[in-house]
């Protein structure tokens, strides 16, 4: 299977994950998801965005979301990383009832190095991320400055926050450190 070729020879790939929650203790659920992801032996959370409160999109008769994004380093293949994220959603009580409906947690794999793939189970880059300010604004916080999408993500993110029409506001910044990072003085 092609997917098992990534990454090659145990090399680390950089991936970006979108997180969202609008049921229960939204902040706590997001922090639990980050902890689960970072605790995996083949995934290290390297950067964490701020938490943004966002209006629901699609199905609008639901509470606002808190959205954020992570940059991670992983030796898992794209499909294995996706499957791990889906497992974490289940652990955190995700139930899929209404498309774009309320959820305890949503974990979406957005980007995985420069991998492009279109399979039934996974499409990379995420097929609708460039249409979603609630994804791009937090992604802008963590996207590597040299990433090929940096200028496009930056432009959309800045416009969304500037005009206020997208229903996105910075809700909270968090101080996240993985165990591998030294403490700053």
Residues annotated catalytic, as ranges: 94, 103, 106, 108
Q: How many CB atoms lie within 10 A of CB 19?
A: 27
Per DSSP, 6 falls in state -
CB 21 within 8 A of CB 29: yes
Residue 124 sits at the vertex; the CA angle it makes with 8 and 146, to the nearest 5 degrees, is: 75
Enumerate long-range contacts of 159-165, CB under 8 Å, 24 or more apart.
Answer: 160/133, 160/136, 161/137
**Can you read off the two tokens belonging to residue 80?**
């294995």
Owner of token pair 């922090």: 31
Q: Which two three-digit tokens encode residue 64?
A: 């606002």
**At which residue do the structure tokens 């203790």 appear?**
25
């Amino acid at each position: 299977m092609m997917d098992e070729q990534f990454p090659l020879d145990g090399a680390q790939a950089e991936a970006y994950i979108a997180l969202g929650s609008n049921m229960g203790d939204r902040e706590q659920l997001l922090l639990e998801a980050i902890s689960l992801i970072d605790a995996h032996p083949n995934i290290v959370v390297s950067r964490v965005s701020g938490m943004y409160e966002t209006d629901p999109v699609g199905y609008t008769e639901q509470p606002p979301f808190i959205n954020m994004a992570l940059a991670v380093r992983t030796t898992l293949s794209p499909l294995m990383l996706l499957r791990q994220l889906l497992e974490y959603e289940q652990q955190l009580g995700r139930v899929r009832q209404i498309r774009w409906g309320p959820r305890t947690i949503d974990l979406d794999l957005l980007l995985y190095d420069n991998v492009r793939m279109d399979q039934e189970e996974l499409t990379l880059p995420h097929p609708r991320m460039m249409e979603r300010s609630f994804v791009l604004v937090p992604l802008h916080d963590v996207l590597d400055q040299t990433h090929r999408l940096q200028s496009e993500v930056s432009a959309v993110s800045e416009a969304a926050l500037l005009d206020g029409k997208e229903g996105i506001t910075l809700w909270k910044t968090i101080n996240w450190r993985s165990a591998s990072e030294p403490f700053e003085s």
